[in-house]
């Protein structure tokens, strides 16, 4: 079981990077990557939710839904778990840690509809690398860190982009995607 951990870390973070290779969570990647501080906050919030969501949905599916024959309900159950999880985290943060809430709070509502979170809960059910709960949580955690890595790198480049002139039709999304295109080339080398 532990032998697979390095393989999972490499796969989840780099070679199957959620944003640049699997294209999950592109909306926040394009939307919240205007400056490094916000990108880092978003990345951390996504990492936390991805980790806890896998921790809950994986046992829920393997020990409850599947044996009882309710596996066709997985999408509804998973999205319900994620939505309530995000709410709970928001409430806990608000009560316990003011600075952390200010750093992460505004991104939390956006995470419910983040493909990367629902994506990781679905992926660990079919991935060959994942054999148990520990593996699944590792996949969630390092997938989230890979997400953070990509979004922070991107925001660094976009801060520079603000001061340069680009051709009219390429302004906004297209030039950002061209940048991401070169990042994706680098990531697919792993």
Binding site for other proteins (CB under 8 A): 20-27, 30, 72-76, 79-80, 83, 112-115, 117-119, 122-123, 126, 168-170, 173-175, 177-178, 180-182, 184-185, 187-188
Among 115, 185, 110, 11, smallest CA distance to 177 is for: 185
Please state the closest distance from residue 100 (CB atom) to other proteins, in A: 23
Please state the closest distance from residue 28 (CB atom) to other proteins, in A: 10
Please state the closest distance from residue 170 (CB atom) to other proteins, in A: 5
Q: Is 98 exposed, middle or buried (0-12, 13-18, 19+ CB in 10 A)?
A: exposed
- 98 or 185: whose CB is closer to other proteins? 185
∠ CA 36-176-174, nearest 5°, is: 160
Q: Which residue has the tokens 């409850």?
A: 64
Please state the closest distance from residue 70 (CB atom) to other proteins, in A: 11
Neighbours of 84 (CB within 10 A): 12
Q: How far is the C-alpha of 34 from the C-alpha of 169, rounded, in Å?
A: 19
- 97 or 178: whose CB is closer to other proteins? 178
- 7 or 185: whose CB is closer to other proteins? 185
- 100 or 112: whose CB is closer to other proteins? 112
- 47 or 121: whose CB is closer to other proteins? 121
Please state the closest distance from residue 124 (CB atom) to other proteins, in A: 11
What letter does residue 13 receive in the DSSP assignment? I
Q: What is the largest CA-CA distance in the chain?
A: 59
Q: At what angle do helices 74-96 and 115-126 cross, to 10 degrees?
A: 130
């Amino acid at each position: 079981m532990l032998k697979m951990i390095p393989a999972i870390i490499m796969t989840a973070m780099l070679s199957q990077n959620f944003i640049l290779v699997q294209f999950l969570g592109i909306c926040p990647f394009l939307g919240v990557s205007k400056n490094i501080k916000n990108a880092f906050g978003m990345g951390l919030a996504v990492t936390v939710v991805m980790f806890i969501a896998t921790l809950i949905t994986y046992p829920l599916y393997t020990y409850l839904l599947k044996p009882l024959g309710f596996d066709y309900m997985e999408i509804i159950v998973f999205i319900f778990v994620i939505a309530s999880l995000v709410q709970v985290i928001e409430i806990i943060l608000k009560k316990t840690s003011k600075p952390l809430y200010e750093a992460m709070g505004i991104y939390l509502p956006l995470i419910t509809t983040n493909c990367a979170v629902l994506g990781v809960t679905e992926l660990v059910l079919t991935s060959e690398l994942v054999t148990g709960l520990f593996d699944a949580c590792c996949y969630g955690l390092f997938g989230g860190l890979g997400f953070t890595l990509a979004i922070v790198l991107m925001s660094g480049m976009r801060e520079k982009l603000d001061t340069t002139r680009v051709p009219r039709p390429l302004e906004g999304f297209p030039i950002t995607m061209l940048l991401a295109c070169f990042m994706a080339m680098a990531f697919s080398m792993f």
